[in-house]
């Protein structure tokens, strides 16, 4: 008669490996989502952190003109800072607006 019942250490190790794999897949998926759709990801983030529906979060596209300067010379001559404004729309509902302000160096 053989004892086919796994011991506690084997069960714990197997569960830990599964958890590590699932967390890695979740992190990779979140990274791909953030990289492929930054505006959408930012909308979800600001909606969550400011407790407003995503429909009332307005995010402008990230400017790309400083990227051309950096690619040619290797030096960063300018960058944009994110400006987040939380206010109310004309009907009194809370809304979040995100736009970019150029900062020269």
List the chain domain ranges.
Answer: 1-36, 38-105
Buried b (16+ CB within 10 A) or exposed e, 51-86: ebeeebbebeeeeeebeeeeeeeeeeeebeeeeeee
Q: What pLDDT shows up at residue 79?
A: 79
Question: From CA 96, how far away is CA 85, in angstroms rounded?
Answer: 6
Q: What is the reported pLDDT for 70?
A: 47
Q: What is the tens place of the pLDDT at every residue in 5-61?
A: 778 888 888 899 999 999 999 999 888 876 766 678 888 889 999 999 999 999 888
In a 3-state reduction of DSSP, which class is residue 83? strand
pLDDT of residue 1: 47
Separation between Cα atoms, residue 78 and residue 103, nearest integer Å: 6
pTM above 0.75, yes or no: no
Cβ pair 80, 70 in contact under 8 A: no
């Amino acid at each position: 008669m053989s004892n086919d019942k796994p011991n506690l250490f084997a069960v714990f190790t197997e569960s830990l490996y599964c958890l590590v794999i699932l967390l890695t897949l979740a992190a990779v998926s979140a990274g791909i989502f953030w990289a492929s759709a930054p505006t959408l990801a930012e909308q979800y983030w600001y909606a969550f952190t400011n407790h407003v529906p995503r429909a009332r979060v307005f995010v402008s596209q990230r400017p790309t003109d400083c990227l051309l300067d950096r690619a040619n010379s290797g030096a960063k001559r300018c960058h944009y800072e994110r400006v987040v404004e939380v206010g109310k729309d004309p009907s009194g509902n809370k809304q979040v607006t995100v736009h970019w302000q150029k900062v020269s160096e």
